[in-house]
Amino acid sequence: MKRNPLFVALSNPKGGMEKSTFTVLLASYFHCLNGYNVLVVNCDYPQHSISAMRDKEVGNIEKNVHLRCMLCGQFDRTCKKVYPVLAGVPGKELETTLPLTGGCDHSLF
């Protein structure tokens, strides 16, 4: 039975409300602990905090052999890769997301 993807939008006009932090925690909870395929669309324009954090993580993993080994071990244990993080534009979230929802259970904005 094919399920329709769940779209979750976290927003607040005030800065510093931990929206990005909560989005990453919620995505990780769905993905790592519950086994869902998750997509994160980072609409935090112009900072794109989540995308910047992911880029930094990738850079650290590329530079550190120990981190690469740990990540490969996690992939082997869980049979899951990391969830994708896309930089989006406010107001165009669905245009960014809909082409990719075929393999996603949850999309977070």
For the chain, domain boundaries: 37-109
Query: What confidence category does residue 100 fall into, taking pLDDT thresholds of 50, 70 and 90?
Result: low
| Contact between residue 30 and residue 7 where contact means Cβ atoms under 8 Å apart | no
CA atoms within 13 A on the CB side of 41: 25
Per residue in 9-54, pLDDT tens?
888 777 788 888 999 999 999 998 888 889 898 888 788 899 999 9
CA distance 86 to 2: 24
DSSP line for 19-54: HHHHHHHHHHIIIIIT---EEEEE--TTT-HHHHHH
Per residue in 44-89, pLDDT tens?
878 889 999 999 999 999 999 999 999 999 889 888 888 889 888 7
Query: What confidence category does residue 1 fall into, taking pLDDT thresholds of 50, 70 and 90?
Result: very low
Bridge-partner residues for 38, per DSSP? 106
